[in-house]
Amino acid sequence: MNERPLQEPTLLLLTALTDEPRHGYGLIQEIDAISQGRVRMRTGTLYGALDRLVQQGLIRVEREEVVDGRARKVYALAEAGRDVLAAETERLRAVVAEAERRLAARRAPAIRPKGALA
Amino acid sequence: MNERPLQEPTLLLLTALTDEPRHGYGLIQEIDAISQGRVRMRTGTLYGALDRLVQQGLIRVEREEVVDGRARKVYALAEAGRDVLAAETERLRAVVAEAERRLAARRAPAIRPKGALA
DNA sequence: CGGCATATGTCGGTCGCTGATATATATCGG
DNA sequence: CCGATATATATCAGCGACCGACATATGCCG
């Protein structure tokens, strides 16, 4: 199986499914909300990704329903998906922390190893 | 210009260049260190990415040198690269925080009686 | 002299994302 | 009643970043 790092759209998909099951269109709106409107999930990305994630066992089709005459497929996060998301966020958090640590250390003549001269 | 989110290898490249200029092979080692050995930058990714990032103005070739008979190209983070990295980590941090918040929310389904250990 | 670390590079293939297009129903304003 | 907008799912060509393998060359060590 592929252990390649998740790309952001996929990460957001799993995140949006973490609190409760949602259907495709609802995911677009939820992701829009999560990212404060900065990420707009396209349907081309969405439905392809949903199929792929089901295939990988990270999510599953919870149920299909009809609301106001419109068909919906409701997806739920699988245990494997939760595990992957947890591992992924853990690793990303470390990467982000390291990047921010280095960005913050702008040419600061901080602590140098013993007796180092400038 | 493309404002697509950076993928992880690219993010790590910029991060590894934030504290000081490095050459290609040194970047592989630095990224290995940053990620605690979890990410091994491949040369196929590396040199392609370096060319691309120079093209995009996010990094630049600082100098070329020869050490122990081996040629090196030393790359440095450009201002634009620093800005992009800062913006990217900022956004990623929010995404990660949201994911972890949701993951944590379900981990506490009920209040456990004192001393009850899992 | 063979093997390993150092060092840079190419290239075909894969895979996820983009953008466009298609289809269908419900709701609301004019 | 009709057109626009929102809801809702789906397909597909194309692109771009990454992967994996391969290629090339030098220095060092046993």
Chain D bases near protein CB atoms (7 A cut-off)? 7-13, 16-23, 25-28
Q: Which residue in A has a C-alpha nearest to residue B82's C-alpha? A: A103
- The per-residue pLDDT for range A2-34, each reduced to its tens digit, is 578 899 999 999 999 999 999 999 999 999 998
| pLDDT averaged per 10 residues in sequence order, chain B, 118 residues | 84 97 96 90 96 97 93 96 96 95 77 52
Q: How far is the CA of B27 from the C1' of C1 (A)?
A: 31
Residues A30, A59: contact at Cβ < 8 Å?
A: no
Distance, in Å, from the CA atom of A17 to the CA atom of A27, rounded to the nearest integer, reads 8
> B9: which nucleotide lies closest, measuring CA to C1'?
D18
- Residues with Cβ < 8 Å from A24, sequence gap 6 or more? A43, A46, A47, A50, A72, A73, A75
pLDDT band at A118 (very low <50, low <70, confident <90, very high): very low
Distance, in Å, from the CA atom of B85 to the CA atom of B39, rounded to the nearest integer, reads 18
pLDDT of B37: 86
pTM: 0.86
Give the end-to-end CA distance of chain A in Å, rounded to a whole number. 50
